[in-house]
Structure 1
Amino acid sequence: MSVVHHRHATVAGREIFYREAGPADAPVIVLLHGFPTSSFMFRNLIPELADRYRVIAPDFLGFGYSDAPPVEEFDYTFDALADHTAGLLTHLGVSRYAIYVQDYGAPVGWRLALRDPAAITAIVTQNGNGYDAGFVPSGWEPVWAYQREQNPETAAALREFLSFEATRHQYLAGVPDPSVVSPDTWHHDYALLSRPGNDAVQLKLFLDYASNPKLYPKLHDYLRASGVPVLAVWGDGDPFFGPDGARAFAEDAVDPEIHLFEGGHFLLESALPEVTELMRDFLARRS
């Protein structure tokens, strides 16, 4: 079992927390987490990859154990999250790497790839959306309403996403056997979501999410032009990103490998062995 190190680095004056494991000279894979979690979602995956790879899993600014400055002091956008992630990788001397993207990790990963296409050796997307077809309207309507108009009513609807029950729902929805999902997951995430001022941070990011679909045409051009290997592993019961989002990668990626599982938004909680096996095989052959 590989040792996982828990570290901090200063990037643009902010402390970024990250988990790291594996040989320093091994090929690198960067794990980019989603909402409402952090690198904690990769706690079980990291040791499964670290015998062969240098694995780096950062917490985005405002998430997990990274700094979470108030919105009055920092403009939370996906560009800013990508800036700090890129800064961390530069600090660590990483210039070539594969990415695993999930939920919010996808728009961060897409920005990294578009800024430096030659840096990316492979993409693993686990419910990490890159197509309009992937959005489940019932899950996104409160976000879209807030993007159209910011008022007390639309903000209140989004704050419901930050509740204990909503956090629990994100882990259990679509999972065939909820008993395999540890309650540590939603309790951990909810505790961090509940920090004073964090609701304003999340509202800023919900608002800025409107910038992400605008990048999709550039992402699709990049997939076609680069031929970067793509593995899509998707929980088909995700209430936010449906299986059409996985299938859509076949429109632009070169020979993508697409696998749908009976599962939810956080597929690693219920299908870790299956995802690990697919990743190891895919990266060995195509990265």
Structure 2
Amino acid sequence: MVERRSVYVACGQHELHVSAWGKPSRPALVMWHGLARTGRDFDEVAAALSDTYFVVCPDTVGRGLSSWAKDVKTDYSYAAYGEHAAAIFDHFHIDRVRWVGTSMGGLVGVTLAAGRMRGRITHLVVNDIGPWIPEEARDRISAYVGNPPSFHTVSELEQWLRAAYAPFGDNSDTFWRRMADTSVRRKDDGGVTVHYDPNIVTQFTLHKGDLDCWAEWDSLDIPVLLLRGRQSDVLPETVAAEMCQRGPKPELVEFENVGHAPTLATEAEWSLLRDFLA
């Protein structure tokens, strides 16, 4: 049984938490989560792929066990996340890497593969996001991310997570319990809330320019796999189709009965990733 290891990486004024799986001597695979999630979302797939790869799953600054922004005007931007990714790569002595990114993590991967890490990211999986996001989807996400709930118990928080993330589709009770365990933060009054800094929602205000990355997409010259939940409101069918005709012209795989976003928590999804990343 492969065990997850918590590693803390210094980057300027920040401490970044990383879940590491497998032997560092193996080829590196980075898995980067979505806006209001953590690297622990990849526990199942990271454990499965760690027989082949050294899997690195960071908590983006402001989420999970990583430190929060010192300055929201700069720290919750893709430019800052690129700096943090570079620090993580340096810490683990990673040169070339495969990248799997869900939602925000997918666009961070696109931005880096087209920019400061061109030539270092060799394979890119973009999970349910595109270079343009509909306003309605932005508003939906902003509404719950920017107004984190409070509860008396973790069990109540778990029920909220199941409802808020219902577009994830069918997942096991074990999945949801792990999600609750890794998404909770105890408050000073003894109650509980979600793990993240509510200011991460400034992605849609101060840093909304990060979300428009057609130019970066068009410049990619590496293998790309595009994943989409068939009911996704974040990656509309029309945008996915345009992505397949531009830039790296990726293969598109869609998942039935899933919205935003596929969780990559099943053996079928692991097999898909194995085939593409090989």
Q: 1:197 to 1:169 in 2, by over 3 A?
A: closer
Measured on the aligned residues, the alpha-carbon RMSD in Å equals 3.0
Structure 1 stretch displaced more, 109-118 or 180-189: 180-189
- The CA distance in 1 between the partners of 2:160 and 2:209, in whole Å, is 24
Of Structure 1 and Structure 2, which has the larger fraction of its residues in strand? 2
Structure 1 stretch displaced more, 21-30 or 240-249: 240-249
Identity level (%): 23
Q: Cα distance, 1:259 vs. partner?
A: 0.6
- Residues 1-287 of structure 1: pairs in structure 2 closer than 5 A: 1-71=1-71, 75-113=75-113, 114-127=115-128, 129-132=129-132, 135-141=133-139, 157=143, 162-163=148-149, 167-173=161-167, 175=169, 177=170, 182-186=176-180, 188-189=182-183, 191=185, 194=193, 198-199=197-198, 201-220=199-218, 222-223=219-220, 226=221, 228-254=222-248, 256-262=250-256, 263-268=258-263, 272-284=266-278
User: TM-score, structure 1 length as denominator?
Assistant: 0.79
* Equivalent pair of 1:95/1:119 in contact (CA under 8 Å): yes
- 2:217 aligned partner, one-letter code: L
Q: Cα distance, 1:186 vs. partner?
A: 5.0
- The CA distance in 1 between the partners of 2:268 and 2:108, in whole Å, is 25
Q: 1:195 to 1:162 in 2, by over 3 A?
A: closer
- 1:99 aligned partner, one-letter code: W
Q: Cα distance, 1:34 vs. partner?
A: 0.5
* Equivalent pair of 1:243/1:260 in contact (CA under 8 Å): no
- The CA distance in 1 between the partners of 2:206 and 2:160, in whole Å, is 21
- 1:110 aligned partner, one-letter code: V
Deviation per CA, 1:154-185: give whole Å up to 9, x if none: x9x5665534687544421262x466652542
* Equivalent pair of 1:171/1:264 in contact (CA under 8 Å): no
> Helix, strand or coil: the match of 2:176?
coil
- 1:210 aligned partner, one-letter code: K
- The CA distance in 2 between the partners of 1:4 and 1:110, in whole Å, is 27
Unpaired runs of at least 5, structure 1: 144-154
Unpaired runs of at least 5, structure 2: 150-156, 187-191
> Helix, strand or coil: the match of 1:268?
coil
> Matched residue pairs, number?
262
Of Structure 1 and Structure 2, which has the larger fraction of its residues in helix? 1
- The CA distance in 1 between the partners of 2:206 and 2:73, in whole Å, is 17
- The CA distance in 2 between the partners of 1:37 and 1:174, in whole Å, is 12
